Amino acid sequence: MAPTPDETILDDDRDVLQLSADENSSLCTGCTRCCETVCVEIDAPRAPWEYDQWVWVLHHRNLEIYVEKPERWFLHIETRCEKLDHAGRCGIYETRPALCREYDPRNCERRAPLSDVSAWFRTAADLERWLAERRPSHWARLLAHREARENASAKAVPALVQIAAAAAHEPATRLPGVAARGAQPER
């Protein structure tokens, strides 16, 4: 639940930088959510390899992706700021980054749910399901991309085996500047 601060602060039209530490604190009483996540905007994927990359990312713990309308993608990382103390206060309040100072808790997503979020992927399966349902042509291209890569790898393996086999029969003396182990220098 979002905290319920003094209503007069919510209607206040002062800039966020003019709010006092107490006023800021009252807006966030009992909540430290902002200090426990990191969100970074990423390029909206289009190519199959890009979708494949984000599916891979979503196989990792604490990484999620969400999409805001019309088409802004964000990587959401669940990670607690090391400067947040055990009492839920900023340990570097006076010298905290500008990004922290300039975030206005009056517009907090917990107080007014983000209406612009059109999709949220907590797992790779979420993204794959969404692609299959909402962007079937992109999903088909991703599947084709994976199949093509798999076929390419299957062809590459015998070729590598042949190269390795050929190299094993090559006399070591053929390597430039390197004498064969145990070979005696010519006199």
Q: How far is the CB of 122 from ligand SF4 (least distance, A)?
A: 18
- Cβ distance 36 to 79 under 8 Å? yes
For binding to ligand SF4 (CB under 6 A), which residues are involved?
A: 2-3, 27-28, 31-35, 81, 83-84, 90, 92, 96-97, 100, 105, 108, 110
Q: How far is the CB of 27 from ligand SF4 (least distance, A)?
A: 6
Task: Give whichever of 110 and 138 is closer to ligand SF4, judged by the CB atom.
Answer: 110
Three-state secondary-structure class, residue 129: helix
Q: How far is the CB of 26 from ligand SF4 (least distance, A)?
A: 10
Q: How far is the CB of 147 from ligand SF4 (least distance, A)?
A: 43
Task: Give whichever of 62 and 123 is closer to ligand SF4, judged by the CB atom.
Answer: 62
Task: Give whichever of 41 and 85 is closer to ligand SF4, judged by the CB atom.
Answer: 85
Q: How far is the CB of 110 from ligand SF4 (least distance, A)?
A: 4
The H-assigned helical ranges of 12-135 are 21-27, 48-58, 98-102, 124-134
Angle at which helix 124-134 crosses helix 136-169, to 10 degrees, equals: 120
The H-assigned helical ranges of the chain are 7-11, 21-27, 48-58, 98-102, 124-134, 136-169
Task: Give whichever of 38 and 143 is closer to ligand SF4, judged by the CB atom.
Answer: 38
Task: Give whichever of 81 and 119 is closer to ligand SF4, judged by the CB atom.
Answer: 81
